[in-house]
Amino acid sequence: MTRKNLARTTKRRNRGSGRLKQVLVAAMIASTTGCGLLDKVKPGPHDNTPSYHDNYGMQIEYPEVCECNTPVSDAAKQTTEPMSLEDPSQMPSLELTLEEAVQLAVQQSPVLRSIGGTIVSAPATTQTTYSPGLVASSPNQGTEAALAAFDAQYTQQLFWNNNDQPLNRQAFAIPGSPFVVPAFAQSRGATFTNELSKQTMTGATFALRHVVNYLNTQDPSAAQQQFPSAFTGWVEAEWRQPLLQGSGTLYNQIVGQNFGLAVGQYNGVLIARINEDVALADFESGVVGLVSDVEEAYWGLAQAYRVLDATVKGREAAQQTFQYQEVRLDVGAGRSDEEAQARSQFYQFQAQVESALGGDTGLYALEQRLRYLIGLPATDGRLIKPTTQPSDVRVVFDWQSALGQAVERRVEVRRQRFNVKRRELELTAARLNYRPRLDLLAQYRWRGLGDQLIGDSDGAQFDNLYGSITSGNFQEGQAGIEMSFPVGFRLAGVAIASAKLNIKRERAILAETELRISHDLSDAARRIALTYQLLETNFNRYQADLKQVEVLRRRYVDGNDNINFLLQAQRQVVTSETAFYTSLFDYNLAIRDFHQEKGSLLAYNQVQLAEGPWAAKAYSDAQRIGRFLEPRENPGSIDMTRPITSGPFDPAQAQATTYIESQPATFDMINDPVSPESPSDAMDSESEDSMNEGLEDTKEQVEEAGKDLAGLLSSGLRN
């Protein structure tokens, strides 16, 4: 290099170093002054160009989905104008028994509705009839997904390659020339690999592998090759059998797809089976809640009819008293304060009737709640009329039998027992993981070489690859053991400790669940005894208040008592009648609560849970596969994992734990109830006749007083 070139190079380097220094200084200034310098940079043309996507990133849009009409969606769209204060006696009725209501509720929709449900605000937590099937078909939780870990796997690869590589040696020199032709290597090739492998339930892995390589080379060092292009390949079989960690049917059925990947994570067949059983328990719990809500809504509606009937009777009695006072006041025989008191009580009962009709706990609101649970439109011009008579006889439960059923048949107990079983299996797998990995490995291979891949053999050796492989002249074998383990087994030890704590936690929750259930069952039994006693007490109170009203009415008509006593008695009889019917329906709900607490509510309401029909193809596949399955001649000699469950369980099976004690016929009026369609016609006939007689007597007294007054006036005028 000349001096001139050297100086030019040095100057260029110094110039580059100066530019680097300027960049570093600018970066330091920008880091100390923030974005101040950047803010002075004028925006370029791209900054002023509006984008097509401006104002669209977070814009609220309406989804477009495929919709189909269902009975539920049709019921939502066919709802008529809601009712508020219409006369229920003028509306057509829809007579419905409790059994029919429960049947409609469990058949109308795949969604398990609830009174206080959050289907609109939290639809992801809603139980449906699809929930167990979703768990069974889940690629992460279902049994089929867990069995997929043991399916045979087929893999295949095919690659082409072209290599052109210079070599670090001379090939030859051109005579009379200083140039030397360098050496190089050119080749074209392909690689084909396919493999069929399968993991067994005992942990063993079998593989059958086939590899074919093709190479066409022009490497000068390969001048001694027999063929310019050749096929090489082999067929091999491999067997790997774990002897310690990873071995055994039980371990692989617990661990599943995470075998050898993550300690403490289990998704095997047995865990997946428990997941499905837990999903079924959750579904059963949802059905129990639905049936409970339907019964509560049904008896609540029946109670609303009774309360409305009692309130209407009180309003009619108050209206007659008010009219009676108006007549007395018109003829000068009454007092204005008594007339005002009677008027006030009439409007008080009128407000109660309106609240009993359209209030939050009124007839129409409770009727709409029952409509929602059984899948009917909110309003359709008809009024549901409960026709099932409430039970008014004493029901006595055998306590020991009921308690035993509660701690065995409650769905919450069975669900928690499945959780305990899961933790027990996880502890077993964690203990089996606390071992080194020791595998027995065996391979056997048939090799071959051929000028062609497949061809007619002309007697020459290595004419084609497959002919060479099938000849069996080149065979290889390998056998040995492979061992690996983490020193100290720290992660495996932590997994065992965690599994022990988990199983202790689940067992503690199971014990606490049984204790809580026993307390709830005790409360339900006490509530049955209390509500029945209140039923008798409130009935006697109601009868006494009826007699009191009758006596005070006659005393008031005769002028022997103040109107305050009569008005108070009229209010009291409505209150006592309402309390009587409230205790009656509370008694029926207490019976429901006892059945729910001891796990027999589905049997009590005759609800059966069954799996839906499968596709026709599934039945044909089961019949075809069943032909290849033979029963075991000696099942006891076969080593099998312990079963997860002890057998099928029917939550709707009837349990004989009650007997009915005959009750004296003091509640005959309950068995022949007043029709809820016409509460205004249900007034006590004796009370109405008595009040009418009082009004007639008052009119006669007023007419006689008028005649006497007219006679006195006429005699005075004559004098």
Whole-number pLDDT of residue 685: 44
Whole-number pLDDT of residue 589: 96
3-state secondary structure of 67: coil
Residue pair 315/355 in contact by the 8 Å Cβ criterion: no
For every residue of 87-113, DSSP letters joined together read -GGGS-EEEE-HHHHHHHHHHS-SB--
Whole-number pLDDT of residue 173: 55
Instruction: Give, to the nearest 10 degrees, the angle between helix 399-409 and helix 490-557.
Output: 140
Whole-number pLDDT of residue 716: 34
Whole-number pLDDT of residue 130: 87
Residue pair 591/391 in contact by the 8 Å Cβ criterion: yes
Instruction: Give, to the nearest 10 degrees, the angle between helix 336-358 and helix 563-597.
Output: 20
Listed by start position, the domains of the chain span 143-166+181-266+437-484, 277-417+508-608+652-707
The β-bridge partners of 449 are 232
pLDDT tens for each residue of 518-530: 999 999 999 999 9
pLDDT tens for each residue of 337-373: 888 888 899 999 999 999 999 999 899 999 999 999 9
pLDDT band at 514 (very low <50, low <70, confident <90, very high): very high
* Closest C-alpha to 506, from 287, 278, 286: 278
User: What's the average model confidence in pLDDT over 449-478?
Assistant: 83
pLDDT band at 140 (very low <50, low <70, confident <90, very high): confident
What is the distance of C-alpha 579 from the center of its chain? Answer: 38
Whole-number pLDDT of residue 650: 79
pLDDT tens for each residue of 81-121: 887 888 888 889 999 999 999 999 988 888 888 887 677 77
Q: How far apart are CA 39 and CA 27, in angstroms?
A: 15
Whole-number pLDDT of residue 664: 46
Q: How far apart are CA 557 and CA 697, in angstroms?
A: 9
3-state secondary structure of 227: coil
Enter the tokens of residue 243.
Answer: 């002897």
Whole-number pLDDT of residue 670: 45
Provide the b/e sequence for 55-89 (b: ≥16 CB within 10 Å). Answer: eeeeeeeeeeeeeeeeeeeebeeeeeeebeeeebe
Whole-number pLDDT of residue 43: 64
pLDDT band at 71 (very low <50, low <70, confident <90, very high): confident
Contacts of 23 (CB under 8 A, 6+ apart): none
Say what the alpha-carbon torsion angle 696, 697, 698, 702 is, to the nearest 10 degrees.
100
Enter the tokens of residue 684.
Answer: 């006590």
Whether residue 59 is predicted with pLDDT greater than 90 in this model: the reply is no
Residue pair 410/651 in contact by the 8 Å Cβ criterion: no
Whole-number pLDDT of residue 172: 55
Whether residue 577 is predicted with pLDDT greater than 60 in this model: the reply is yes
More confident residue, 329 or 195: 195
Q: How far apart are CA 199 and CA 18, in angstroms?
A: 66
More confident residue, 119 or 39: 119
pLDDT tens for each residue of 230-262: 899 999 999 999 999 888 889 999 988 765 556
pLDDT band at 481 (very low <50, low <70, confident <90, very high): very high
Enter the tokens of residue 386.
Answer: 């409960």
pLDDT tens for each residue of 149-193: 889 999 999 999 988 877 766 555 556 655 555 666 778 899 999
Q: How far apart are CA 525 and CA 531, in angstroms?
A: 10
Residue pair 403/521 in contact by the 8 Å Cβ criterion: yes
Out of 137-146, 639-648, 691-700, the most confident range is 137-146
First to last CA, the chain: 166
Whole-number pLDDT of residue 601: 93
Mean residue pLDDT across the chain:
80
Q: How far apart are CA 369 and CA 373, in angstroms?
A: 7
The CATH architecture to which 277-417+508-608+652-707 belongs is Up-down Bundle (1.20)
Q: How far apart are CA 91 and CA 82, in angstroms?
A: 13
- Alpha helices by DSSP H, 331-362: 336-358
3-state secondary structure of 277: helix
Q: How far apart are CA 476 and CA 376, in angstroms?
A: 76
Contacts of 148 (CB under 8 A, 6+ apart): 257
Residue pair 329/702 in contact by the 8 Å Cβ criterion: no
> How many C-beta atoms surround the C-beta of residue 391 within 10 A?
14
Whole-number pLDDT of residue 504: 96
Whole-number pLDDT of residue 515: 96
